[in-house]
């Protein structure tokens, strides 16, 4: 990849951030949360897209961004009101801009007229605003990329400063230095010399105030100058000459306009900032300017009124987004590091094993060093993982547009609220989150939120709200999609499930269980297959996708109140903290994040109530037990619960489960290797890892263990995976 190609990619990454900024900003403005800063930020983002697109030569993008930017500029300057209609057009424009960026990125040509409709809508906004010329001509008319007709004269640096060369102008100048000016080491002579450089200068010195030599104070000002300057330069240039002394002198600059032109414009800020001419201090120049012995340091750069007025505006807009130092690194490189860290963790575990087998007198120092290594490896792992982490924002940002399009299609009024976009998750999870989340949101709009009429009838506001949130909870990431729609119709779901034979006709289910039937394969409640969802891809696929990335999905629904779907996801798919346990001859790993406590139960704690596994009385609560030895058919596992150790784990939805194992072997970081990729899905097993002794251990899928165990009680259909077959790390 050439350097330019790399930079182009960087530009597109910047674009997705900028587009996001535009969309979020516009949404905020629409929802009344926008401030002036928001408008500025949106404008600047659109401008940046245009600027970058310009550098990389994406013509269509530049032209569209220009029109977009012009409307935003009108919004920014308050000449266009942020009405609902305007925001609909602007949000549409942000979608088109995003499409154009995508096309530019993929190298696909933009279909002719693709942005026409939106562009005309934007132009109409400007035209209605009486400011049409700027945008409609804008980018297109200056195809040569030059601004002909501006009195712009590029000049050599050593001859700096002249941009206006539009014929000679005449300025009358009155300059009366005050003593303060000299005390600040500003020399009138130099100023006059500078002034003379601007053109032909005729000055008269008024020496009337000059005292006798014996009374003369060398550091006082006694002389005034008046005269005319004929120059091709503008007022600006003249003011610049005086700009360091403007507070310490009386200055008048009046342009003598040719006959027939309007009266002089109001005095400039510069002249205004000079004190009134009628100042009581008699302006007197020094007798000998060169002898002016003031050693005071030069005055600081005076804050010019014009700049002072501009600065807060720009500064405030920027304050909303603190600049962060970032470097862009190819993900492949990070992935390589992640893999190496994984191998390092394994190698370190093996080293630890060897150390433990050495005679004790040799090991103490070695163990000390090893502990250091373990500590650093852990930090290394955490740092690398955080590098891979991305904000869920990257997935969330696609959703507002989805909701907008869907609500337009279904004629529903839906607002999407988002929170926790900054929550970070491993990149691999993020990548695989987009499809399920899109599907869930489609469902929410299509099936969840009712039509405005139905909502009104139900006493709700016409606008439905879908809330998308993300956050950390108990070592996992929880993403929630909740809507305030009609909720799931339990009766209909139950009827359908029974019709399809998905559940027993006599089954008695709780409300939650009924709601969760929608996750069953072959279940689809949509009576008509709509254009949006219900295209044969059901919630079972969504659940499958989520489970594939180590997540779980739960659904809660209240008829008439809405539905909440919760995704619980692991932080990372590569490395985790695990408790190594022994069952028979085999080792298994229980994710530390799931473990509540470990205990050796007494006979009195155990009740053999349900099936064979029994339950545990734990401080008054009843915890179902799972015999891993029985479940997986492991030879040599302890038969009696009281001979083993019970690990209390928290499965999905806070349900607790006691896993019976022979012995605990210790806490260890394990590198997760996929079983699915090498063998297939094994219920109850989340993956495999290589332990320090080089042996393969399976990582338990605690959430699914309870289901598996439940099913096992009824039929012994669980596939008995042969470790020998599966012991191939990916």
Q: What φ, ψ does residue 322 adopt, rounded to 5°?
A: -60, 140
For other proteins, give the closer residue by CB, 161 or 218. Answer: 161
For other proteins, give the closer residue by CB, 4 or 278. Answer: 4
DSSP 8-state code for residue 729: -
What token pair was written down for 189?
Answer: 């002579």
**What are the beta bridge partners of residue 552?**
568
524 in Cβ contact with 536 (< 8 Å): yes
For other proteins, give the closer residue by CB, 41 or 708. Answer: 41
SS3 content of the chain, % helix, strand, coil (to 5): 45, 20, 35
241 in Cβ contact with 171 (< 8 Å): no
Q: What φ, ψ does residue 229 adopt, rounded to 5°?
A: -120, 125
What token pair was written down for 664?
Answer: 């605990």
For other proteins, give the closer residue by CB, 232 or 520. Answer: 232
Smallest distance from other proteins to CB 143, Å: 8
CA–CA separation, 124 and 136 (whole Å): 10
Smallest distance from other proteins to CB 162, Å: 8
What token pair was written down for 441?
Answer: 């949101």
- Annotate 340-407 with DSSP letters as a single string: HHHHHHHHHHHHHHHHHHS-HHHHHHHHHHHHHHHHHHHHHHHHHHHHHEEETHHHHTTHHHHHHHHH
Smallest distance from other proteins to CB 56, Å: 7
**What are the beta bridge partners of residue 646?**
599, 660
For other proteins, give the closer residue by CB, 38 or 563. Answer: 38
Tell me the Cα Rg of the chain: 38
For other proteins, give the closer residue by CB, 37 or 558. Answer: 37
For other proteins, give the closer residue by CB, 90 or 686. Answer: 90
For other proteins, give the closer residue by CB, 17 or 421. Answer: 17
For other proteins, give the closer residue by CB, 143 or 265. Answer: 143
Alpha helices in 463-552 (DSSP H): 490-499, 511-515, 539-548
**What are the beta bridge partners of residue 668?**
578
Smallest distance from other proteins to CB 359, Å: 57
Question: Which residues contact other proteins by CB under 8 A?
Answer: 3-4, 7-8, 10-11, 14, 43-44, 47-48, 50-52, 54-57, 62, 66, 134, 137-143, 145-147, 150-152, 154-158, 160-161, 163-164, 234, 236-237, 240, 243-244, 298, 301-302, 304, 306-307, 310-311, 314-315, 317-318, 321, 323, 328
Smallest distance from other proteins to CB 139, Å: 4
Q: Which of 490, 486, 444 is nearest to 467 (CA)?
A: 444
Q: Which of 292, 304, 195, 290 is nearest to 246 (CA)?
A: 304
Q: How many helices (H) and strands (E) does the chain have?
A: 24, 22
What token pair was written down for 329?
Answer: 């690194």
CA–CA separation, 656 and 709 (whole Å): 13
For other proteins, give the closer residue by CB, 142 or 643. Answer: 142
């Amino acid at each position: 990849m050439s350097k330019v190609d790399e930079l182009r990619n960087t530009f597109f990454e910047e674009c997705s951030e900028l587009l996001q900024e535009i969309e979020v900003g516009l949404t905020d403005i629409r929802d009344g949360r926008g401030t002036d800063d928001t408008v500025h930020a949106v404008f600047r983002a659109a401008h940046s897209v245009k600027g970058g697109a310009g550098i990389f030569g994406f013509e269509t993008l530049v032209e569209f961004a220009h029109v977009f930017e012009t409307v935003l500029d009108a919004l920014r300057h308050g000449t266009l009101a942020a009405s609902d209609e305007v925001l609909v057009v602007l949000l549409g424009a942000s979608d088109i801009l995003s499409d154009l960026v995508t096309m530019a990125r993929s190298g696909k040509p933009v279909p002719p007229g693709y942005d026409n409709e939106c562009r005309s809508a934007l132009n109409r906004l400007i035209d209605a605003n009486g400011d049409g010329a700027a945008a409609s001509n804008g980018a297109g008319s200056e195809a040569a990329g030059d601004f002909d007709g501006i009195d712009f004269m590029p000049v050599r640096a050593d001859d700096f400063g002249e941009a206006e060369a539009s014929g000679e102008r005449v300025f009358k100048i009155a300059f009366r230095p005050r003593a303060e000016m000299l005390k600040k080491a500003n020399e009138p002579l130099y100023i006059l010399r500078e002034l003379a450089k601007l053109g032909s200068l005729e000055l008269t010195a008024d020496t009337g105030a000059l005292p006798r030599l014996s009374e003369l104070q060398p550091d006082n000002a006694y002389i005034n100058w008046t005269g005319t300057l004929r120059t091709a330069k503008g007022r600006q240039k003249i003011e610049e000459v005086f700009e360091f002394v403007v507070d310490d002198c009386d200055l008048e600059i009046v342009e003598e306009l040719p006959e027939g032109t309007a009266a002089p414009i109001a005095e400039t800020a510069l002249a205004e900032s000079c004190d009134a001419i009628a100042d009581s201090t008699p302006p007197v120049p020094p007798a000998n300017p060169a002898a002016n012995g003031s050693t005071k340091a030069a005055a600081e750069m005076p804050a010019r009124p014009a700049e002072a007025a501009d600065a807060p505006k720009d500064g405030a807009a920027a304050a909303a987004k603190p600049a962060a130092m970032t470097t862009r690194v190819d993900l492949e490189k990070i992935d390589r590091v992640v893999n190496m860290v994984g191998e390092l963790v394994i190698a370190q575990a093996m080293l630890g094993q060897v150390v433990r087998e050495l005679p004790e007198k040799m090991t103490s120092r070695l163990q000390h060093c090893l502990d250091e290594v373990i500590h650093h490896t852990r930090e290394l792992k955490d740092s690398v993982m955080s590098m891979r982490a991305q904000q869920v924002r990257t997935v969330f940002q696609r959703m507002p547009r989805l909701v907008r399009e869907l609500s337009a299609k279904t004629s529903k009024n839906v607002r999407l609220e988002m929170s926790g976009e900054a929550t970070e998750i491993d990149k691999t999870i993020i990548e695989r989150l987009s499809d399920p989340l899109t599907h869930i949101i489609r469902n929410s709009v299509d099936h969840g939120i009712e039509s405005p009429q139905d909502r009104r009838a139900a006493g709700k506001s016409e606008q439905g709200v879908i809330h998308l949130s993300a956050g950390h909870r108990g070592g996992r990431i929880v993403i929630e999609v909740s809507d305030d729609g009609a909720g799931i119709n339990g009766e209909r779901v139950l009827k359908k499930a029974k019709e399809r034979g998905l559940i027993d006709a006599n089954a008695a289910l709780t409300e939650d269980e009924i709601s969760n039937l929608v996750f069953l394969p072959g279940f689809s409640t949509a009576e008509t297959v709509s254009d949006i969802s219900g295209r044969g891809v059901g919630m079972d696929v969504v659940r499958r996708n989520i489970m594939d990335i180590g997540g779980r999905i739960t659904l809660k629904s209240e008829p008439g109140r809405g539905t909440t779907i919760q995704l619980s996801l692991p932080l990372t798919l590569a490395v985790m903290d695990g408790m190594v346990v022994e069952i028979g001859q085999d080792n298994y790993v229980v994710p530390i994040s799931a473990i509540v406590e470990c205990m050796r139960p007494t006979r009195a704690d155990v009740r053999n109530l349900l099936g064979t596994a029994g339950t545990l009385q734990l401080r008054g609560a009843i915890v179902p037990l799972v015999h891993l030895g029985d479940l997986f058919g492991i030879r040599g596992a302890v038969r009696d619960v009281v001979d083993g150790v019970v690990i209390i784990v928290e499965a999905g939805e806070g349900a607790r489960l006691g896993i019976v194992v022979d012995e605990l072997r210790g806490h260890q970081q394990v590198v997760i290797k996929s079983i699915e990729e090498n063998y297939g899905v094994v219920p109850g097993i989340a993956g495999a890892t290589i332990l320090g002794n080089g042996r393969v251990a399976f990582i338990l899928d605690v959430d699914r263990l309870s289901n598996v165990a439940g099913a096992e009680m009824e039929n012994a259909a669980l596939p008995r995976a042969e470790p020998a077959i599966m012991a191939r790390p990916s």
